[in-house]
Structure 1
């Protein structure tokens, strides 16, 4: 006679059900936790990219007033990664730019932007 077909006890099927339910809950929780870790890493990378853009944008606005070329590239090495700014000059105040950012973990992102410079 098999243990699972013992008709005299009623506790064993309940124990099997509770163990199976517990394993399902634990497995789902682990999967959810791994997804949350991945989402957090992506959000951290996005924050680094936004920080790189802000820092390079500000630095570019300061540096472009000192540049004599109407187009070219400027490279910045910042704490969270590297930024390459490709720029051209539309008129004396406007520059179309392409910010190519790479974080210290290897994530890359491009932003096309038009910058207006206020000479004071």
Structure 2
């Protein structure tokens, strides 16, 4: 039951993060909105990682979250994300279109933020190692 409750908390967090992130994206808040969007993107990626790997401890979790976000950002150096974005709004949200080095810092901040939350809630959900 604890694992189910843990996953429900993660799903609720992901839904809330997605709603806030889409709101910021659709309304637009300039540079501050872009950086907030990067932080929220990393939080969402982290929560999705927790759904798949709920036993992941906080430090490897932060590294995996930041690493995956960075991988997606560097993937934007190829032509594929921009091509996919022309065909799909969802693809644009997931992969972006163009590499932007300043996005790398918000990803780390988001990974640390969601990792800190994970470290705090983890003791309340005894997840076997």
Q: TM-score per shorter chain, which class?
A: 0.3 to 0.5
Structure number having the greater helix percentage: 2
Q: Provide TM-score, normalisation by structure 1.
A: 0.35
Q: Which has the higher contact order (CA 8 A, sep 6+)?
A: 2
Q: Which of the two has greater strand per residue?
A: 1
Bigger radius of gyration among the two: 1
